[in-house]
């Protein structure tokens, strides 16, 4: 049970975030430092998000599989950039079955290396390509400043790994995932208007030749990297000897991609839509889309509530009945607000006598007294509006905090509270150093019109989106 | 791509199993000893199984959540039987983020202890009960003789954990899971006619007061424990201080259950239904229920195949088109047999001229030449028969290998190749010792009529089902 009122975003955004996570019973710290317990409300959101992403991943032609948690330490060392990128974050198993192991095992920070070692067995011929594999799994990275959903020492994610016959096919697939899986899920389902672009060399994934990213603006103006799709070139193919015989009898290294999105998306959902009352959920991700709340225990109230729950369920909505009348009405209302349930229907004996109920729309906090008869239609109409309205609100918030600038100083100012768009010609590599000194980074590079760079675009001709980030 | 012909079950059952797992591309060994890679065909089966179980678990009122992979070593020691049961099987993380840890972390062999530590925070009052939580996760047990799906050092499973106000409620819930989730899934979905009963004290879960089990007979007459549901009494509640204030103001320890089923079920599916041609899948668990196989590349064949695939998909079946005509027809047929796809429709130019196709039913290996027109109806009819016929076949196989005996010697003989049913009065504790010497165990205790023991039944009045096991 939550504690009720929380601090406002304006007072203390990080504390507000923590209080929403705790108050909405989404997650809490596990007993081992830096680990996370995802409670049913948070996990229910994750399940819905997984289903949405998984469907799109399968439509993009990838098959799910599962790879081992433990990786021999020697494997990680096969790709030089990769091991350098991950070495400081590893958890190491040194003992198993009561004995010290001959070779320590790394708890996967990503399955890149183990999957590539298998790709080298599975891929022989051009007929085996493209090979597109996805995994839903837990991974471990030894974060020093853990925050629930945003940076925990263990998190849940999907990681896709693919191999293709040509560089062009690999690029096309990396972009298909970026656009049709990530961007589509983040915009259409999570309701966050992500910017897409590619990372500068210093921000790339360890071992990638290109990292494409989705960046969402959070309620404090900071950016959150919500998913990345990498082109790996032939780096891992060479390190792991992934070769295929070509149609005309040659032998070539495969071209690869990898891509991931994680429980971090729940952090984005909280910080992208939350208000001072707590979470605001788009119906697509709400474990309960409607709560029917009995104000008091009363025969007429109970029977009206049961009938409404049945009607709404029959209409295909996810509905909870709140009949915990031993707990105060006010406390329960605040709890459902915190949890972000899109629509609340309150049924009490007095209103019911007149045939009325109270309908509360979470994202606008509008409260209406409406006739019980026909309220199902009204609820459906509200639910249809919530997602688009949350997206529109997040979009105008982002646009209000995005400034196009033509000097580094202006970028440093605007980037502190939102996004600064600055030509890479103006920023340059040295400017990127200076951003770092102010805890800012280039979130992504785009064309001036906000579209992705195309073959032949030099980074110097693009615009850098600059901001602070999680 | 599989290698084709496999050894027969009669020749070498364990090798047959390995060859099916490899040949059907279900799983293979990971690079770290004892770990398992679940390939798309195996994982596709798992996804279908998870969906079936998850739906039933939710109908039983449990919510999904997620708990940390790492558990402080001290936690495991809080429940004495539990730590004794698991200590020899643990994997230990000693280093994280480049440093030796102050307290080593155990990689969860089960989340029992960490979940109970949270239950002690979440449960305060009778209003918080029952609390029913389920988790889908990977767990690690340092098996010394690993076998894919049956005993691997990491496996996937679900573990349910619940807390109740009374012992009777806990028992009722443990049995609800046993019957409505496990038995229902295993019989109705996997098609294995499991026996249900409870374990003798020596076979119980470490820390449980009662372990209820589902035991399936495999194709070699051995038993496989396919899922267990435990009553934990107040053991963990006392160790982890899980108390609740009662309605009349008292303070009591909760009564608990836990229950799990794992990727082992895929092993049961293979060994319960497989034949000398490989896997035989019930349609409910077949990633592809029908494969439409083009015998040769040919315009008419391709167009007929595409139309049939579309028709079958529209009818709701999972369908694959096999147009890999560069690979020999015979090789591809053997591959689909190995993979256990329930129905294969072969389309070739010669038959097609006469408007015919060949339909092969995997589980009976019946091959029919049928008119293409109307073949969709025929396929649907076959698919409807497969599940019940596989279950019937497994049931008669089990019944043929089950003998009711009244002496230990007879039990030792019959139990070597199947199930021996022997009164516990005859077997006794000493008899159980002697079974162990012959690599046999009591798989479960039941009433003589095969039903579960009820309140008041003494173990001595029950029948022991004796056999070898995995």
Q: What is the dihedral of CA A212, A217, A220, A223, to 10 degrees?
A: 10
CA–CA gap between residue A379 and residue B39 (Å, rounded): 44
Backbone angles phi, psi at A66, to 5 degrees: -140, 135
CA–CA gap between residue B43 and residue B50 (Å, rounded): 10
- CB–CB of B65 and A38 under 8 A? yes
- CB–CB of A38 and B66 under 8 A? yes
In sequence order, which residues have a C-beta less than 8 Å from that of residue B465 and are 6 or more positions away? B195, B197, B215, B223, B419, B420, B421, B442, B443, B444, B445, B446
Shortest alpha-carbon distance between residue B8 and chain A (Å): 26
- Positive or negative, the CA dihedral B99, B104, B110, B113 is negative
Cβ atoms within 10 Å, residue A40: 20
Instruction: Give, for all 470 residues of chain A, the pLDDT tens digit.
Output: 444 579 999 999 999 999 999 999 999 999 999 999 999 999 999 999 999 999 999 999 999 999 999 999 998 888 788 788 888 899 999 999 999 999 999 999 999 999 999 999 999 999 999 999 999 999 999 999 999 999 999 999 999 999 999 999 999 999 999 999 999 999 999 999 999 999 999 999 988 999 999 999 999 999 999 999 999 999 999 999 999 999 999 999 999 999 999 999 999 999 999 999 999 999 999 999 999 999 999 999 999 999 999 999 999 999 999 999 999 999 999 999 999 999 999 999 999 999 999 999 999 999 999 999 999 999 999 999 999 999 999 999 999 999 999 999 999 999 999 999 999 999 999 999 999 999 999 999 999 999 999 989 999 999 999 999 99
- CB–CB of A94 and B89 under 8 A? no
Instruction: Give, for all 470 residues of chain B, the pLDDT tens digit.
Output: 444 579 999 999 999 999 999 999 999 999 999 999 999 999 999 999 999 999 999 999 999 999 999 999 998 888 788 788 888 899 999 999 999 999 999 999 999 999 999 999 999 999 999 999 999 999 999 999 999 999 999 999 999 999 999 999 999 999 999 999 999 999 999 999 999 999 999 999 988 999 999 999 999 999 999 999 999 999 999 999 999 999 999 999 999 999 999 999 999 999 999 999 999 999 999 999 999 999 999 999 999 999 999 999 999 999 999 999 999 999 999 999 999 999 999 999 999 999 999 999 999 999 999 999 999 999 999 999 999 999 999 999 999 999 999 999 999 999 999 999 999 999 999 999 999 999 999 999 999 999 999 989 999 999 999 999 99
CA–CA gap between residue B425 and residue B407 (Å, rounded): 10
Using CB atoms, pick whichever of A30, A127, A137 lies closest to residue B68: A30
- What is the interface size between A and B, counted as CB pairs within 8 Å? 170
Q: Containing H/E element for B257?
A: strand B255-262
Using CB atoms, pick whichever of B44, B69, B114 lies closest to residue A140: B69
Q: Which of A24, A66, A142 should we substitute to test contact with B (largest number of B Cβ atoms within 10 Å)?
A: A66
- CB–CB of B44 and A31 under 8 A? no
Using CB atoms, pick whichever of B32, B64, B327 lies closest to residue A43: B64
Residue B137, pLDDT score: 98
Shortest alpha-carbon distance between residue B31 and chain A (Å): 7
Q: Which of B70, B128, B313 should we substitute to test contact with A (largest number of A Cβ atoms within 10 Å)?
A: B70
Task: Please write down the long-range contacts of A425-433, taking CB distance under 8 Å and 24 or more positions apart.
Answer: A425/A460, A425/A461, A427/A464, A427/A466, A432/A200, A432/A202, A432/A464
Write the pLDDT tens digit of every residue in A404-461: 999 999 999 999 999 999 999 999 999 999 999 999 999 999 999 999 999 899 999 9
Cβ atoms within 10 Å, residue A124: 13
- CB–CB of B117 and A75 under 8 A? no
Residue B79, pLDDT score: 79
Give the CA angle between residues B369, B322, A60 to the nearest 5°.
145
Q: What is the dihedral of CA A31, A34, A35, A41, to 10 degrees?
A: 100
Using CB atoms, pick whichever of A32, A69, A71 lies closest to residue B68: A32
């Amino acid at each position: 049970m939550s504690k009720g009122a929380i601090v406002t975003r304006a007072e203390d955004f990080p504390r507000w975030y923590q209080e929403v996570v705790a108050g909405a019973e989404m997650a809490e710290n596990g007993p081992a430092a830096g680990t996370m317990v995802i409670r049913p409300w948070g996990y229910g959101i994750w399940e819905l998000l997984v289903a949405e992403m998984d469907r799109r991943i399968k439509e993009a032609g990838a098959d799910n599989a599962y790879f081992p948690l433990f990786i021999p330490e020697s494997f990680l060392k096969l790709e030089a950039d990769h091991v350098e990128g991950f070495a400081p974050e590893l958890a190491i198993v040194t003992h198993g079955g009561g004995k010290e192991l001959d070779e320590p095992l790394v708890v996967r920070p990503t399955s890149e290396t183990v999957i590539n070692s298998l790709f080298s067995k599975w891929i022989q011929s051009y007929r085996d390509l493209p090979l597109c594999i996805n995994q839903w799994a837990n991974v471990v990275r030894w974060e020093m400043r853990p925050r629930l959903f945003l940076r925990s020492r263990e998190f849940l994610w999907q990681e896709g790994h693919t191999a293709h016959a040509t560089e062009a096919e690999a690029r096309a697939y990396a972009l298909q995932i970026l656009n049709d899986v990530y961007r589509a899920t983040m915009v259409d389902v999570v309701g966050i208007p992500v910017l897409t672009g590619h990372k500068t060399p210093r921000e790339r994934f360890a071992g990638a030749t290109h990292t494409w990213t989705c960046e969402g603006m959070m309620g404090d103006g900071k950016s959150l990297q919500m998913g990345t799709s990498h082109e790996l070139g032939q780096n891992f193919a060479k390190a792991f000897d992934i070769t295929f015989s070509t149609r005309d009898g040659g032998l070539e290294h495969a071209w690869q991609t990898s891509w991931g999105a994680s429980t971090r998306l729940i952090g984005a959902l909280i910080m992208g839509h939350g208000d001072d009352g707590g979470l605001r959920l788009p119906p697509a991700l709400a474990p309960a889309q409607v709560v029917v709340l009995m104000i008091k225990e009363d025969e007429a109230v109970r029977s009206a509530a049961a009938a409404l729950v049945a009607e709404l369920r029959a209409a295909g909505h996810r509905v909870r009945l709140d009949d915990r009348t031993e707990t105060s009405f006010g406390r329960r209302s605040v709890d459902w607000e915190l949890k972000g349930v899109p629509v609340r229907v309150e049924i009490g004996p007095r209103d019911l006598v007149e045939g009325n109920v109270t309908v509360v729309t979470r994202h606008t906090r509008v409260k209406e007294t409406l006739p019980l008869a026909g309220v199902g239609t009204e609820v459906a109409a509200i639910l249809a509006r919530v997602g688009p309205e949350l997206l529109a609100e997040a979009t105008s918030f982002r646009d209000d905090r995005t400034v196009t600038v033509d000097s580094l100083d202006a970028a440093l100012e605007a980037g502190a509270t939102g996004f600064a768009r600055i030509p890479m010609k103006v920023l340059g590599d040295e400017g990127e150093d200076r951003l770092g000194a102010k805890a800012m980074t280039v979130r992504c590079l785009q064309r001036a019109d906000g579209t992705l760079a195309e073959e032949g675009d030099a980074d110097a001709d693009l615009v850098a989106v600059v901001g602070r980030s999680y």
